[in-house]
Amino acid sequence: MITTVIFDMDDTLYDEVDFCRSGFAAVAAFLANVPNLTAWPTETEIRDAFGAQFDAGNRTSVFNAALDELGVAYTPETIKHLVGVYREHTPEITLPAESKDVLELLSGQYVLALLTDGFLPTQRLKAGALGLERYFQAIIYTEELGRECWKPSTKGFKHLLKQLHEKPANCVYVADNAKKDFIGPKQLGMNTIQLIRPNRIHNTPPSDADAAPDQIIASITQLPQALKRIGQP
C-alpha cells in the first residue's frame, strides 16, 4: 500500500529552464551595471547571448561562450563570480497551477516529501520561490548530507525513510531524469514514476533496466491515477 509520495523538484514540479533564464537575467543585470566600463553590451544583449548558448545545447560553459561572442574579456575568477551570482540569486519562478492542484489533492491522501540534488543555497532558493514548504512533511537537500549522497546514491533516500519512519515498499519516487533518478530508490524497493515534461532539460534514456522507471506519465495531472495503478494486476 502506497502511503508516501516523494518528489524530485527540478523538471518535475516546474520547468527548470525557467530557473535557468531567471539566472541568466540576474547575471546579465549584474554585468550591465559593472562601473567604469566603455563599449559594454546592454543587459538585453548579454541576457540574449546567454539564452542563445543555452538554447543551442550549451550546458557547461554558457558564460564563457557568450562573453567570447560579445567580445567581453574575462578571467577564470570572473566566471567563478558569475556562477555565484547565478546560483545565489532569488529566482523569479512560479509553481505551475497543475502542480499546485495535484499537490493539494495528494496532500490529503498521502504523506508528501521532497528529495532534490543540487547546490546550496540554490535549491533552497528555488523551493522558497515555488512555495513548496507548505506541501511537504519532509524535505531532503542531498547537498546537506554530502555530495556523495547525490543521486544515484541511495543515501539520501535512506535518510528520508528514517526521518519519515517509512518502509521503501510503501513509497513512490516521482522524478524526471532516467539517467540517475530511479536507480537508488529501485535498489531500496521503492516504486518509481517518471514525469516527462515537454520542456525538460535532461532527456537521456535509462541505461538499463535498473535505471528504468516503473511507470511513465506525460503530465503531473496523470499522477493521481498512476498512483492508483501501483499494485494492480
Go through the chain and tell me how many residues it has. Answer: 233
132 in the same domain as 80: no
CB-facing half-sphere around the CA of 232: CA atoms within 13 A: 7
Rg of the chain over all Cα atoms, to the nearest angstrom:
19
213 in the same domain as 115: yes
pLDDT one-digit tens code per residue, 115-156: 999 999 999 999 999 999 999 999 999 999 999 999 999 999
For residue 196, what are the CA distances in angstroms to 83, 174, 200, 217? 28, 10, 7, 6
pTM of the model: 0.94
Could you list the residue range(s) of the whole structural domain that residue 58 is in? 17-88
Q: Which of 67, 88, 109 is the last residue of a domain?
A: 88
Q: Which residues of the chain have pLDDT under 50?
A: none
The pLDDT value recorded for residue 109 is 96
